[in-house]
Amino acid sequence: MTTATTGWPEAPEALPSPVVDNHCHLDHRAYSKHVEGGLLIPVDEALDRAAAVGVTRVVQVGCDLEGSRWAVETAAAHDSVVAAVALHPNEAPLLADAGRLDAALAEIDRLAGSGEHVRAVGETGLDYFRTGADGREAQHASFREHIRIAKRRDKTLVIHDRDAHAAVLAVLDDEGVPDRTVMHCFSGDADFARECVERGAYLSFAGTVTFKNAENLREALRVTPLDRILVETDAPFLTPSPHRGQPNASFLIPLTVRFMAGIAGVSVDELCRAIDANTDRAFGGPWAHRT
């Protein structure tokens, strides 16, 4: 059901323990336009709505220079937010064609070192769905440099992997896996999940795990150790059922968590506590909860 006053789905029942949305895009245009006749959602309101249902912290993720700078500024202004900075893999070929990739990577390096509120380098990685073979060299070069930045700055590496499972692992194995690595919006099967966990990665599940055609994700979740499971929205994308097709927001994470608990065979409270603790380890320690 969608509320008439906000244009967003009604808030689900609050979770019994706090969790973290470890990947969202609060700056995306879907937050700053009318949605189904609804109202604009400022950052404070988005965070308050999330906290009201137990999603008390978020990781704001940059995908380009503008978004990465905004993430850093937003995290500096909100104690419950930390930032991730990067060039999305689909940005890399565009910047390379314009002769600006090296300069952009240097700016990401600078942003990654700009404060404790910047916890991650991401989302970086490989995307063979939107970028063709002619853009892969730039994607690989960008991914490798992001890995090096994460290691140099002691930041968590957040990986975007779309239709590129084997290539992502090959680059990680060649460069060496950072101490803290998150597979954002995990999209593989059980075998790929095992390979990622063997390399020390955390697997982050989004609303896609609730989709009817996503049995591969549910199989992956079943084999993922409880201490390696994270949850995210990738908001405003990947809205969980039963609201698929509407814009997503951090306050809808309880739908995904409750679904995941059933698949993982644990109580909702146990999964919440595991996710909260896992996120602290995955992102280099705790930060303030939203109250």
Q: Write out the DSSP string of 98-135.
A: TT-HHHHHHHHHHHHTS-TTEEEEEEEEEETTTS-GGG
Q: What are phi and psi of 201, to 5 degrees?
A: -80, 155
Residue 254, CA distances (Å) to 22, 41, 166 in order: 14, 19, 32
Is 234 known as a binding-site position? Answer: yes
Cα(73)–Cα(65) distance, integer angstroms: 12
Tell me, letter by letter, the H, E, C secondary structure of 224-242.
Answer: CCHHHEEECCCECCCCCCC
Cα first-last separation, the chain: 27
Render each residue's pLDDT in the chain as its tens digit; 291 residues: 444 335 678 999 999 999 999 999 998 766 655 444 444 578 999 999 999 999 999 999 999 999 999 999 999 999 999 999 999 999 999 999 999 999 999 999 999 999 999 999 999 999 999 888 999 999 999 999 999 999 999 999 999 999 999 999 999 999 999 999 999 999 999 999 999 999 999 999 999 999 999 999 999 999 999 999 999 999 999 999 999 988 899 999 999 999 999 999 999 999 999 999 999 999 999 999 998
Cα dihedral sign, 273-25-225-252: positive
Look at residue 67 in the predicted model and tell me its pLDDT.
95
Look at residue 34 in the predicted model and tell me its pLDDT.
44
Cα(238)–Cα(218) distance, integer angstroms: 16
Is 123 known as a binding-site position? Answer: yes
Q: What are phi and psi of 208, to 5 degrees?
A: -60, -25
Is 270 known as a binding-site position? Answer: no
Cα(145)–Cα(139) distance, integer angstroms: 10
Look at residue 31 in the predicted model and tell me its pLDDT.
60
Domain 19-282 has CATH 3.20.20.140: yes
For residues 44-79, one letter each, b for 16 or more C-beta atoms within 10 angstroms of the residue's C-beta and e for the rest, the string is: eebbebbbebbbbbbbbbbbbbebbbbbbebbbebe
Cα(263)–Cα(222) distance, integer angstroms: 7
Strand partners, 204: 230
Cα(14)–Cα(18) distance, integer angstroms: 9
pTM: 0.95
Look at residue 33 in the predicted model and tell me its pLDDT.
53
Look at residue 291 in the predicted model and tell me its pLDDT.
80
Look at residue 30 in the predicted model and tell me its pLDDT.
61
Residue 181's H or E segment, with its range, is: strand 181-183
Q: CB neighbours (10 Å) of residue 226? A: 15
> How long, in residues, is the chain?
291
- Residue 66's contacts (CB-CB under 8 Å, 6 or more residues apart) are none
